[in-house]
């Protein structure tokens, strides 16, 4: 799916297009990987919405992690380790969003780094891994409606990034696929 986005955005062929927020891209790859063939096909119309979602700052990354982690934590079949990791990820995301006092897990040490180091580290490494794990857990615990739940989660993530329709810079074929 991200390869299609890279083509629509006229970027080099890659599954990590620069025009897409790295955490959103990680969520999309995980949703794609955990969907059935029919589910993957149903994701294609969402491709134009990913264009121009890339931005810096803790808020976007934290919002995506909080959304994915809370969705995964709502599942009933989590292992103890999964529940602890996802709860810590959720707690850190809420802290970064300003709604919680203290960060969870290992974030206590890397959040003390200067913002110029800690924000890219969170956006590129920490948040992408946490969001991808949350998607994998959601897929595993989503019994018979896995494709529907994963697609809904991806749509929520897109909406949280403000991606509701293709941007004007989107190519004509991408705009036609939106209709």
**Torsion angle of C-alpha atoms 164, 169, 170, 176, degrees rounded to 10:** 90
> pLDDT tens digit string along 17-72?
999 999 999 999 999 999 999 999 999 999 999 999 998 889 999 999 999 999 99
Number of structural domains in the chain: 1
Residue with token string 């959304």: 67
Model confidence band, residue 176 (pLDDT cutoffs 50, 70, 90): very low
> What number is the average pLDDT over the span 1-29?
94
> pLDDT tens digit string along 111-146?
666 666 688 889 999 999 999 999 999 999 887 789
Range of the domain at 58: 2-178
């Amino acid at each position: 799916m991200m390869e299609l986005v890279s083509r629509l955005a006229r970027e080099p062929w890659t599954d990590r297009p620069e025009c897409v927020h790295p955490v959103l891209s990680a969520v999309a790859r995980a949703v794609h990987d955990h969907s059935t063939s029919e589910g993957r096909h149903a994701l294609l119309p969402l491709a134009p919405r990913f264009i121009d979602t890339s931005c810096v700052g803790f808020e976007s990354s934290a919002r995506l992690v909080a959304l994915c982690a809370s969705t995964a934590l709502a599942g009933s079949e989590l292992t103890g380790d999964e529940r602890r990791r996802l709860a810590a990820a959720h707690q850190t995301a809420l802290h970064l969003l300003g709604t919680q006092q203290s960060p969870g897990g290992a974030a206590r040490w890397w959040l003390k780094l200067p913002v110029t180091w800690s924000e890219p580290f969170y956006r590129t490494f920490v948040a992408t891994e946490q969001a991808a794990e949350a998607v994998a857990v959601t897929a595993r615990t989503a019994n018979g409606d896995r494709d529907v739940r994963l697609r809904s989660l991806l749509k929520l993530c897109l909406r949280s990034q403000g991606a509701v329709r293709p941007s004007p810079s989107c190519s004509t074929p991408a705009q036609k696929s939106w209709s």
